[in-house]
Homo-oligomer: A and B are copies of this chain.
Amino acid sequence: MTPSPSDPPSRRADTRAPAKLQQLPSWLLSQASAHGTRLVAEALATEGLRRSHYRVMSALEELESASQIELGAHVWLDRSDLHGVVVELERRELVVRERDPIDRRRNVVTLSAGGRTTLARLDALVATAQAQLVEPLSAPEREQLIALLGKLVETPD
């Protein structure tokens, strides 16, 4: 009756969730998303970073450089939270932040050399987490899932 004390933190209950909930897309998405979030967070924690750090660094890899507002739009981070993330990344010297000489309201953020090599390690960690996440699915099922989720998330306009 009692959850064994050796269970990994939280995940999984002994008892089945209400049948009604088990059929709700929103409930299933929450469960699956929470699982994925946990796997990725644990993987990134081995480098002492969080998911928002990875998101921002990935965006910078693609954009070369960007203002904080642009970054926030790319990775769906609030301006306020993005500020904290960028400050932390700067403190670890993973990114460089400078005033834009043309428009001095903006901070131009760029990956540092160390940031690039760190990002490569993070990519590997995240890839492993993804593999664990989709492990119960066959290869074609994985593609199906990605396609279906893509449709759900697509900007409708």
Binding site for B on A (CB under 8 A): 1, 3, 10, 12-26, 28-37, 39-40, 55, 58-59, 61-62, 69-70, 72-76, 78, 123, 126, 129-130, 133-134, 136-137, 141-142, 144-146, 148-156
Contacts and interface: CB of A to CB of B under 8 A. Distances in A.
9 contacts: A13-B76, A15-B73, A20-B61, A25-B149, A26-B130, A32-B153, A33-B33, A35-B152, A137-B152
B155 A136 contact: no
Contact of A35 (B69, B72, B137, B153): B153
A36 B31 contact: no
A32 to B, nearest CB: 5
